[in-house]
Amino acid sequence: MKQLKNWDNKTWLSSKSYISQFIKFLKTKINLNKNSKILDIGCGRANIISALQKKYKFKDKPIGIDVVANKDVKKNIVFKKIDALKYLKKQEKYDLILIKQTIHFFSKTNLKRLLNLAKNSLNSKGKILIFSLKTKNSKIPCFKKMRKNLEKSLKRDEALLKLIKKNLNEISYTNFNFKVKITKQKYIKMIKNRYISCLLNVSRKDLVDGIGEINLKYKKKIQFLDTLLCISFRK
């Protein structure tokens, strides 16, 4: 699969409103303080942990890892371009391991390895928080080909979520909801930039045709609910 580079680049996922609401949600899941140690797996441009660093001023800067090194990764965190499985073998300990919209990039075998390594990398009472797209009735605006690919991806996610449930004991489930309000013009630009993994292997022709579908289907302003399933595991 091609690398996903634009999921948090000038999308609602990088907006101040989204980040603020996400951090408020995190506060309901874990108590953080200046001594907390945080690892973000698949951090992208590190918007979330950068905002956390500004808020809590951690003694040890949050660490973000990703296989893609974007030029505009936030500077107030520690970024490492490395595979998560390799990094977790260092056996450093964290109070929070954040895995946000990343599990679909792992095979079942590697996801199981990731979970085991992550559990062993938690401090006492540390938490793993896994966020994944809601697999049923997704409201993400799509054209026909995009919807087909998305549903296929979400079906695979269901199998991965079952694996997580089997591997992690005493987990809890909640939803993080964000009301997206975006202009159709900006959303089409996001589609052109292939902001979501189900667009990565769509042909240029299908992308152009799909944008035509979006133009006909939606009004100038698009509104929908973006829902993430949050799986919480405490050591």
The DSSP-derived string for 28-60 is: TT----TT--EEEET-TT-HHHHHHHHHH--SS
Rounded Cα distance between 12 and 96, Å, is 24
pLDDT score of 8: 75
Paired with 232 in beta bridges are 129, 172
| Per-residue b or e along 32-63, where b marks 16 or more CB atoms closer than 10 Å to that residue's CB | beeebbbbbbbbbbbbbbbbbbeebebeebbb
Tally of residues, the chain: 235
Q: pLDDT tens for residues 152-195?
A: 999 999 999 999 999 997 789 999 999 999 999 999 999 999 99
Paired with 226 in beta bridges are 178
**Residues 38, 52: contact at Cβ < 8 Å?**
yes
Residue 1 has pLDDT above 50, yes or no: no
The domains of the chain, with CATH numbers, are 12-234 (3.40.50.150)
Rounded Cα distance between 23 and 190, Å, is 24
pLDDT score of 10: 79
11 falls in which pLDDT band (50, 70, 90)? confident
pLDDT: which is higher, 11 or 6: 11
